């Protein structure tokens, strides 16, 4: 077992670090104004050659591994200290493109992947509905076949980057088939008649582009926009292991950034005539933060390494790593905030933003209890884990 990154991975990590650091000074303003010049961020990430990382070379992507992806996003988040720089990476290699690679119809891949790999188009994901978040398999958005096309109707909310993306991988129920068996995914293109995008509620963290709402009113899509039809829910969800890996990279990067800020602060701040870093409870706190980050990194890297050639990371390892990240990351950012004393609660230091961004994502991509249910179903296959009332 070799835990060292290869020279190519170290180069990738350094490139991501440089890309993130270049925009760090803008994070506070983007967060405060709740506005990001998103196209600039996309161009910036493209200029550092960090788009379509895991899309195979035959489709114009970089053909890199899930571990490479994790290394990049961790470095981007750590050095930028803000969530937005990871979005173009996610939207060009995360679950949207990953689902398209699973598409049985080659026309789907040929239609959408060329634009995605160049960053000319980006794909948001739309699973959550106002009435169904964790209870995804009850979703009510419908896909009804009409001749050669499908008519899609329903409401989606909390869609990250709702306004700034071009494609929307929308989960829908086909042919009124109940439960998970009826669920598939289709691509809706921005500008299609009947497709409306609203800003949605304001978030406490991960601000700057809306996590918006979609109103889908009898939107007609051609058959090649069907990514995966009904009866293949498990296959469809395997693409979301890339989202969970992204969540791990986010928690790793942001927790590490919080550690960096805390270490710097306690070395400079003095109390009782000495740097506060010299108090045992302070350096013990830093050690505990560092240890949790190391443990999360090991779990996340192991999860990434379960992705074989052309496949996604395995569900058990990725879910466990995401769960661990959700449990420890906000504790780390809160400890870092506390080490800043009263200044940690002010907008004069980045730590309060790091904490808000981490808190905002605790339930994104699956809340901790839902992740525990998923893990329990694997650990105890003979126990009935169904949550239905």
Torsion angles phi and psi, residue 9, rounded to 5: -70, -35
363 lies in the site for ligand FAD, by CB under 6 A: yes
What single string gives the DSSP state of each residue in 256-324? HHHHHHHHHHHHH-EETTEEGGGSHHHHHHHHHHHHHHHHHHHHHHHHHHT--TT-PPPHHHHHHHHHH
What string marks each residue from 131 to 150 as x (binds ligand FAD by CB under 6 A) or -? --xx----------------
Please, which residue, 263 or 373, has the CB nearer to ligand FAD? 373
Nearer to ligand FAD, 295 or 360 (CB): 360
The answer to whether residues 336 and 289 touch, using CB atoms and an 8 Å cutoff, is: yes
Q: Is 377 in the site for ligand FAD (CB under 6 A)?
A: no
Radius of gyration of the chain (CA): 21
| 370 sits near ligand FAD (criterion: CB under 6 A) | yes
d(CA 228, CA 223): 11
Contact in structure between 85 and 72 (CB atoms under 8 Å)? no
336 touches ligand FAD by CB under 6 A? no
Q: What is the number of other CB atoms lying within 10 angstroms of the CB of residue 353? A: 23
d(CA 207, CA 357): 8
* Token digits of residue 82: 């803000």
Q: For residues 280 and 175, give the distance between their C-alpha atoms in angstroms, rounded to a whole number.
A: 63
CB of 373: closest distance to ligand FAD in angstroms? 6
The verdict on 214 binding ligand FAD (CB under 6 A) reads no
39 scored as a contact of ligand FAD (CB under 6 A): no
Nearer to ligand FAD, 163 or 373 (CB): 373
> Which residue from 85, 153, 160, 175 is spatially nearest to 128, judged by alpha carbons?
160
For the chain, first and last CA: distance in Å? 45
* The residue to which tokens 């009904």 are assigned: 230
According to CB under 6 A, which one of 111, 180, 207, 211 is a site residue for ligand FAD?
A: 211
Helix (H) or strand (E) holding 100: helix 95-102
Q: Please pick, from the candidates 127, 167, 197, 209, the single residue that binds ligand FAD as defined by CB under 6 A.
A: 127
Name the residue nearer to ligand FAD (CB basis): 244 or 302.
Answer: 244
Phi and psi angles of residue 200, each rounded to the nearest 5 degrees, phi first: 80, -175
Nearer to ligand FAD, 243 or 352 (CB): 243
Dihedral-angle region of residue 34 (phi above 0 means left; psi in -120 to 50 means alpha; beta otherwise): left
- The interface region with ligand FAD, picked from 22-30, 60-68, 270-278, 357-365 by CB under 6 A, is 357-365
Nearer to ligand FAD, 9 or 373 (CB): 373
Which one of residues 153, 163, 263, 367 is an interface residue with ligand FAD (CB under 6 A)? 367
Contact between 321 and ligand FAD (CB under 6 A)?
no
- Min dist. Cβ of residue 30 to ligand FAD (A): 15
Q: Which is nearer to ligand FAD, 156 or 340 (CB)?
A: 156
- The CA distance from 87 to 124, in Å, is 10
Stretch binding ligand FAD (CB under 6 A), from 31-39, 185-193, 274-282, 361-369: 361-369
Residue (12 or 183) nearer to ligand FAD, CB: 183
Partners of 125 in beta bridges: 169
Is residue 361 involved in binding ligand FAD (CB under 6 A)?
yes
Q: Is 369 among the residues that bind ligand FAD (CB under 6 A)?
A: yes
Minimum CB separation from ligand FAD for residue 378, in Å?
16
In the complex, least distance from residue 226 CB atom to ligand FAD, rounded to whole angstroms: 18
Site for ligand FAD in 254-283 (CB under 6 A): none
Cβ contacts of 138 within 8 Å, gap of 6 or more? 131, 132
Applying the rule CB under 6 A, the residues between 163 and 202 that interact with ligand FAD are: none
Q: C-alpha angle with apex 283: 281 to 285, nearest 5 degrees?
A: 65
How many chain residues touch ligand FAD (CB under 6 A)? 22
Nearer Cβ to ligand FAD (59/158): 158
Name which position in 76, 159, 262, 276 contacts ligand FAD (CB under 6 A).
159
What does the binding site for ligand FAD look like in residue numbers (CB under 6 A)? 125-128, 133-134, 158-160, 206, 211, 360-361, 363-367, 369-370, 373, 387
């Amino acid at each position: 077992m070799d835990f060292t990154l290869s020279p190519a991975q170290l180069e990738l990590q350094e490139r991501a670090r440089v890309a993130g650091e270049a925009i760090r000074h803008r994070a506070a303003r983007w967060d405060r104004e709740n506005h990001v010049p998103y196209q600039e961020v996309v161009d910036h990430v493209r200029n550092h050659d960090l788009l379509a990382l895991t899309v195979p070379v035959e489709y114009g992507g970089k053909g890199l591994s899930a571990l490479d992806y994790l290394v990049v996003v961790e470095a981007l988040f750590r050095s930028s200290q803000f969530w937005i720089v990871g979005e173009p990476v996610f939207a060009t290699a995360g679950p949207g493109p990953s689902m398209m690679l699973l598409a049985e119809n080659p026309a789907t891949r040929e239609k959408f992947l060329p634009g995605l790999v160049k960053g000319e188009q980006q794909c948001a994901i739309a699973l959550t509905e106002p009435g169904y978040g964790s209870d995804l398999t009850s979703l009510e958005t419908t896909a009804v076949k009409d001749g050669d096309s499908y008519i899609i109707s329903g409401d989606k909310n909390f869609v990250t980057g709702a306004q700034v993306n071009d494609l929307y991988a929308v989960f829908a129920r086909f042919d009124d088939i109940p439960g998970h068996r009826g669920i598939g995914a289709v691509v809706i293109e921005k500008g299609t008649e009947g497709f409306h995008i609203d800003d949605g509620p304001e978030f406490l963290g991960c601000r700057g582009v809306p996590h918006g709402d979609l109103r889908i009113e009898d939107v007609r899509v051609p058959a090649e926009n069907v990514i995966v039809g009904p009866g293949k829910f498990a296959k469809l969800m395997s693409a979301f292991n890339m989202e969970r890996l992204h969540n791990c990279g986010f928690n790793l990067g942001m927790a590490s950034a919080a550690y960096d800020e805390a270490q710097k602060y306690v070395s400079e701040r003095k109390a009782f005539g000495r740097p506060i870093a010299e108090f045992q409870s302070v350096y013990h706190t830093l050690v505990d933060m560092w240890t949790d980050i190391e443990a999360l990194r090991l779990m996340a890297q192991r999860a990434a390494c379960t992705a074989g050639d052309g496949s996604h990371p395995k569900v058990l390892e990725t879910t466990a790593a995401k769960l661990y990240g959700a449990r420890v990351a906000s504790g780390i950012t809160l400890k870092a905030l506390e080490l800043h004393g009263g200044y940690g609660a002010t907008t004069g230091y980045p730590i309060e933003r790091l904490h808000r961004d981490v808190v905002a994502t605790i339930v994104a991509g699956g809340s901790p209890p839902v992740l525990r249910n998923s893990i329990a179903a694997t650990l105890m296959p003979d126990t009935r884990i169904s949550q239905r009332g």
